[in-house]
């Protein structure tokens, strides 16, 4: 019985063989998630103009002389929302034809969501009342697309899918370059390409053109992911690369508050105070906190805005947040993320409206600046329309490259080399020299620790690979068969289906279970999302809503079932030792 050591290529070849199998596995098992992330992300960056058109009435107004004071606009919003509603933030109208946003925190809303009332600065009319999302304040259309892109509308659990895609995207891009560099042949003048050669040409060409962008999207996407993002935040904190935050503590001793879009949706630790704590044997006297009202007086918003303008905040887009308690200051921040970035911030004393602290983007550490620019470029807001178009080209290019990869695999599938079943990831790794095996293990453990979702998924891939490797080893016994050229076409087809009859049953059962799971998840996400967003009970839906949501559920369920069934097809009906003989 032959051993895999007997067929091992040269050391350089073993490395490329390992990269080839890893690239193949990423394309087969991870590419469906990358495809969905690329497609939904592209739709997200292409919708700002559509969003402006859909919500035009709420976002714009006609200039009618002098605008009313900000305090009067806030009073109009509070009259609509109720005097007991707590104001989360206020964004004054950035231009003469824009409305003012007064955002309220409501307990029934999700993380990073707030209720926004759009106020006409001239007539004080409420022109819109809707839920907005995140520090960027995106409206319902882009909020839905953002949540679809980040977590498939499945909450925190769904965020694992986008982190899985971002964790492997850079590996696929760089691994593809390594394979191209190590296996490319000298150029010829022959330009006529068809079939597999043409698809491989365009797959490689797109990969080379998009490689830098794919690595960029992967890195910036990981910065706000659920698990790897926490590790990145810890690393930035350890190296002093965190973004400077304005200090809002009035006593001057407390650290600056970190910028956290989820802060107003998290519970507070009311029972923890500084009173009674000792330091070096000396008791610190308890401070008497000055009680504050639920909302600051309307006139105070005017004073805070005037103080921020006087302190040097000249951006047209500002956001004001009132103190949360008696020991905190106002915060006024510039929120213009387009180039050049205007994100300076000041904190204002609520008693005399003097400046407590300020941070300027010009003084940010280089890594903090790069992080800010990277996130804004990833979202398509840094350079406006050109940024959006570039992202769209990268997104559609990546989707095309994935489709070409699957098409290449399908074309070559019937002609798999005889030794391919034994060339699993495990066999490729075992063929490496000892020092290379040790190095690869160290790299794998380091990446698994830094990128937990990658580590878990790699472990799953290895387990599947081991199973296929064992099957290949057991099936390595040579069997005498009639040569295909001596069989009739019907006999060939019958023999192949007869050999796969059991696997076909398993495959169909798995797809059925997968379809039921996908339909259940999509139905729960979409129906629940409509009920939560529009506050319309399921029993009160119109016939049009029933039909529309049913079609959406069917469409998304079909797409995701098809994408996720590709790995199942490979596992049950993929390569076999007899293919290509």
pLDDT score recorded for residue 265: 35
Average pLDDT over residues 217-224: 92
pLDDT tens, 415-435? 444 444 456 788 888 888 888
Confidence check: pLDDT of 11 > 70? no
pLDDT score recorded for residue 107: 84
Name which residue leads in pLDDT, 477 or 239.
239
DSSP state of 227: S
Secondary structure E strands in 144-299: 278-279, 282-283
pLDDT score recorded for residue 274: 31
pLDDT score recorded for residue 401: 94
pLDDT tens, 564-579? 777 777 666 665 444 3
Q: Are 273 and 289 in contact (CB under 8 A)?
A: no
Helix or strand (DSSP H, E) at 397: helix 385-412
Strand arrangement, sheet containing 345-348 = 126-133, 113-119, 100-105, 86-91, 318-321, 330-334, 345-348, 355-359
pLDDT score recorded for residue 472: 65
pLDDT band at 80 (very low <50, low <70, confident <90, very high): very high
pLDDT score recorded for residue 453: 94
Average pLDDT over residues 381-401: 94
Between 166-175, 331-340, 548-557, the lowest mean confidence (pLDDT) is in 548-557
Name the average pLDDT for the chain. 80
| Cα-based distances in Å from 146 to 142, 153, 535 | 6, 9, 20
Model pTM score: 0.75
pLDDT score recorded for residue 518: 80
Average pLDDT over residues 243-249: 90
Q: Which of 146, 84, 138, 148 is nearest to 116 (CA)?
A: 138
pLDDT score recorded for residue 549: 78
pLDDT score recorded for residue 65: 84
Q: Are 374 and 220 in contact (CB under 8 A)?
A: yes
Kindly indicate whether the domain formed by 245-254+299-363 is annotated with CATH number 2.60.40.
no
pLDDT score recorded for residue 7: 41
Confidence check: pLDDT of 101 > 50? yes
pLDDT score recorded for residue 427: 83
Average pLDDT over residues 428-447: 88
Using the Cα atoms of residue 18, residue 24, residue 30 and residue 35 in order, give the sign of their dihedral. positive
pLDDT tens, 500-555? 566 677 777 777 888 888 888 878 777 877 776 666 777 777 777 778 778 878 87
Q: Which of 111, 6, 109, 119 is nearest to 59 (CA)?
A: 119
| Cα-based distances in Å from 479 to 332, 339, 421, 488, 568 | 78, 68, 16, 20, 27
pLDDT score recorded for residue 423: 64
Confidence check: pLDDT of 5 > 90? no
% the chain with pLDDT above 90: 41
Name which residue leads in pLDDT, 82 or 270.
82
The residues that bridge with 126 in the sheet, in sequence order, are: 119
Domains of the chain by residue range: 59-132, 245-254+299-363, 487-581
Cα 519 from Cα 356, distance rounded (Å): 54
Name which residue leads in pLDDT, 277 or 4.
4
pLDDT score recorded for residue 261: 33
The residues that bridge with 89 in the sheet, in sequence order, are: 103
Between 87-91, 419-423, 554-558, the lowest mean confidence (pLDDT) is in 419-423
Between 4-13, 165-174, 379-388, the lowest mean confidence (pLDDT) is in 4-13
Establish how many alpha carbons lie within 13 A of residue 441's alpha carbon, considering only the half-sphere containing its beta carbon: 10
Cα 249 from Cα 228, distance rounded (Å): 31
pLDDT tens, 258-269? 444 333 333 333
Cα 576 from Cα 464, distance rounded (Å): 15
Bond preceding residue 475 cis, omega within 30 of 0:
no
Average pLDDT over residues 37-64: 92
Strands 126-133, 345-348: parallel, antiparallel or unpaired by DSSP? unpaired
pLDDT band at 358 (very low <50, low <70, confident <90, very high): very high
pLDDT score recorded for residue 377: 93
pLDDT tens, 277-330? 333 333 334 444 445 557 888 899 999 999 999 999 999 999 999 998 888 999
Q: Are 119 and 298 in contact (CB under 8 A)?
A: no
pLDDT score recorded for residue 264: 35
Confidence check: pLDDT of 398 > 90? yes
pLDDT tens, 169-203? 999 999 999 988 887 766 655 555 677 788 888 99
């Amino acid at each position: 019985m032959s051993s895999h050591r007997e067929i091992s290529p040269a050391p350089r070849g073993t490395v490329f063989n390992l990269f080839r199998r890893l690239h193949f596995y990423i394309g087969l098992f991870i590419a469906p998630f990358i495809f969905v992330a690329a497609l939904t992300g592209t739709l997200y960056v292409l919708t700002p103009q559509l969003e402006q058109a859909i919500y035009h009435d709420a976002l714009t107004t006609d200039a009618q002389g002098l605008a009313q004071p900000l305090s009067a606009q806030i009073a109009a919003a509070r009259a609509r929302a109720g005097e007991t509603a707590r104001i989360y933030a206020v964004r004054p109208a950035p231009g003469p034809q824009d409305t003012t946003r007064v955002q309220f925190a409501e307990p029934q809303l999700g993380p990073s969501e707030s209720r926004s009332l759009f106020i006409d600065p001239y007539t004080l009319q409420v022109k819109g009342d809707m839920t907005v999302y995140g520090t960027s304040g995106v409206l319902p259309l882009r909020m839905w697309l953002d949540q679809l892109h980040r977590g498939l509308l499945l909450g925190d659990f769904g965020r694992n899918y986008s982190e899985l895609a971002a964790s492997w995207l850079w590996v696929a891009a760089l691994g593809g370059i390594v394979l191209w560099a190590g296996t490319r042949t000298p150029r010829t003048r022959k330009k006529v390409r068809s079939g597999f050669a043409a698809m491989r040409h365009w797959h490689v060409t797109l990969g080379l053109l998009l490689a830098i962008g794919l690595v960029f999207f992967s890195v910036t996407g990981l910065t706000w992911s659920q698990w790897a993002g926490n590790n990145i935040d810890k690393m930035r904190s350890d190296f002093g690369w965190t973004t400077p935050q304005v200090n809002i503590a009035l006593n001057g001793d407390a650290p600056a508050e970190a910028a956290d879009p989820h802060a107003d949706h998290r519970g507070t630790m009311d029972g923890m105070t500084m009173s009674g704590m000792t330091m070096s044997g000396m008791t610190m006297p308890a401070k008497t906190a000055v009680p504050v009202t639920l909302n600051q007086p309307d006139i105070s918003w005017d004073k805070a805005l005037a103080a921020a303008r006087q302190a040097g905040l000249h951006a047209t887009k500002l956001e004001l947040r009132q103190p949360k308690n008696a020991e905190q200051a106002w915060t006024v921040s510039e929120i213009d993320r387009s180039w050049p970035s205007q994100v300076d911030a000041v904190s204002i004393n609520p008693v005399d409206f003097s400046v407590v602290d300020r941070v300027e983007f010009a003084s940010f550490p280089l890594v903090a600046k790069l992080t800010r620019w990277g996130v804004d470029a990833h979202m398509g807001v840094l350079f406006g329309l050109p940024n959006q178009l570039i992202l769209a080209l990268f997104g559609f290019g990546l989707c095309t490259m994935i489709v070409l990869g699957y098409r290449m695999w399908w074309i070559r599938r019937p002609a798999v080399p005889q030794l391919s079943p034994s060339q699993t990831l495990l066999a490729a790794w075992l063929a490496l020299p000892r020092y290379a095996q040790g190095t690869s293990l160290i790299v794998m453990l380091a990446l698994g620790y830094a990128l937990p979702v990658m580590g878990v998924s790699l472990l799953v891939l290895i387990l599947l690979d081991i199973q296929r490797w064992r099957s290949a080893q057991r099936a390595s016994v040579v069997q005498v068969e009639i040569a295909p050229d001596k069989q009739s076409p019907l006999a060939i087809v019958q023999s192949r289906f007869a050999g796969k009859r059991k696997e076909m049953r398993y495959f169909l059962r798995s797809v059925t279970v997968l379809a039921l799971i996908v339909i259940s998840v999509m139905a729960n996400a979409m129906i629940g999302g409509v009920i939560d967003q529009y506050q319309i009970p399921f029993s009160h839906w119109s016939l049009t809503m029933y039909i529309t949501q049913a079609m959406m559920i069917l469409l998304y369920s079909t797409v995701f079932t098809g994408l996720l069934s590709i790995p199942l097809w490979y596992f049950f009906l993929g390569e076999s030792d007899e293919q290509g003989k």
